[in-house]
């Protein structure tokens, strides 16, 4: 990546998305702050600029195809290419998600609209721009709760979590990541999923034990992979038993 590289981060007005924008900007990239709320996006742009980042808010609602298409057209007209796409926007469904046998379908659909369908819509719209870059990177922000292997480990930290909307949306996102990686396997574009770990953000009422700064590290790593870096991988903070919650170890995770 060069100082003129261009990165689009969805849901970048706060939390991990904002921190990804800050860290990529600190590396010299121009960052497009994707946010569906214009006022919050404008505030995030100003805050990033105050930190020395070349940031520009772009109105983007990942659940609205017209908004997605307009964003792609705007980037094409103003820049002509895109080097990095970070699909970060996501929702949990909240406590109303219930146990599996009590799952409200309206909440399930709403979570999938953002966490899965929105990723596909944005990626498909931005792919022609990503193909114009020398070696683009796509990073889908996933979660360890989407790992089937981890969630069925009775001795692991995910065993107590029993819910369908958010975990299954991240499982689906992992498969979406793998399929894009396969399609783009013989191109310079690399597609990976990132696990930020359990970070304190609005998504979980700030109950996480990791910071947004720490959560962004795995995403930034995948967004700046060298030519010999992986594609089609699930990478991030390790939750295995012998790694404590404050241990900075990272590695490839089981799907």
DSSP per-residue letters across 121-168: HHHHHHHHHHHTSSS-EEEEE--GGG-HHHHT-TTSTTTT---SHHHH
In-domain check, residue 118: yes
Question: What is the average pLDDT score of the chain?
Answer: 91
pLDDT score at 199 = 65
CA distances from 135 to 107, 151, 179, 180 (A): 37, 34, 18, 15
Catalytic residue, chosen from 112, 166, 180, 235, is 166
Say if 103 falls within a structural domain.
yes
Task: Identify the weakest region by mean pLDDT among 44-53, 54-63, 120-129, 207-216.
Answer: 207-216
Domain membership of residue 141 (yes or no) is: yes
239: pLDDT confidence band, cut at 50, 70 and 90? low
Of the pLDDT bands very low, low, confident and very high (cuts 50, 70, 90), residue 136 is very high
Tally of residues, the chain: 255
- The strand pair at 30-35 and 6-9 is best described as parallel
Helices 15-26 and 212-223: angle between axes, nearest 10 degrees: 50
Q: How far apart are alpha carbons 250 and 235 in whole angstroms?
A: 7
Is the per-residue pLDDT at 250 higher than 80?
no
Residue scoring higher pLDDT (4 or 175): 175
Q: For residues 38 and 19, what is the distance between their CA atoms, to the nearest angstrom? A: 19
Q: For the domain that residue 114 is a member of, what is the CATH number?
A: 3.40.50.720
Per the domain annotation, does 1 fall within a domain?
no
pLDDT tens digits for range 78-119: 999 999 999 999 999 988 999 999 999 999 999 999 999 999
Give 25's pLDDT tier (boundaries 50, 70, 90). Answer: very high
Q: Which domain holds residue 231?
A: 6-252
- Which ranges of the chain does DSSP label H, i.e. alpha helix? 15-26, 38-50, 65-78, 105-112, 118-131, 148-151, 165-183, 212-223
Distance CA 248, CA 78 (A): 38
166 has catalytic annotation: yes
Structure tokens of 149? 């292997």
Count Cβ atoms below 10 Å from residue 248 Cβ, excluding itself.
10
Asked whether residue 155 is domain-assigned, the answer is: yes
The count of domains in the chain is 1
């Amino acid at each position: 990546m060069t100082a003129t590289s261009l990165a689009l981060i969805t849901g970048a007005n706060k939390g991990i998305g904002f921190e990804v924008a800050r860290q990529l900007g600190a590396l010299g990239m121009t960052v497009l702050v994707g946010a569906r709320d214009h006022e919050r996006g404008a505030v995030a742009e100003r805050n990033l600029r105050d930190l020395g980042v070349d940031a520009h808010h772009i109105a983007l609602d990942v659940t609205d195809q017209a908004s997605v298409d307009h964003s792609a057209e705007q980037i094409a007209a103003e820049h002509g290419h895109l080097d990095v796409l970070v699909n970060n926007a996501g929702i949990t469904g909240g406590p109303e998600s219930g146990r599996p046998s009590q799952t409200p379908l309206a909440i399930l659909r709403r979570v999938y609209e953002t966490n899965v369908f929105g990723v596909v819509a944005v990626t498909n719209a931005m792919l022609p721009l990503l193909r114009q870059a020398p070696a683009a990177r796509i990073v889908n922000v996933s979660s360890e709760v989407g790992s089937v292997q981890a969630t069925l480990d009775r001795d692991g930290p995910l065993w107590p979590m029993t819910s369908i909307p958010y975990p299954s949306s991240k499982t689906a996102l992992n498969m979406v990541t793998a399929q894009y990686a396969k399609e783009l396997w013989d191109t310079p574009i690399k597609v990976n999923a990132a696990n930020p770990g359990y970070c304190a953000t609005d998504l979980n009422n700030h109950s996480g034990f990791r910071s947004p700064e720490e959560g962004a590290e795995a995403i930034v790593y995948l967004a700046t992979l060298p030519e010999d870096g992986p594609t089609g991988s699930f990478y991030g903070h390790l939750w295995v038993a012998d790694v404590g919650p404050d241990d900075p170890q990272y590695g490839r995770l089981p799907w």
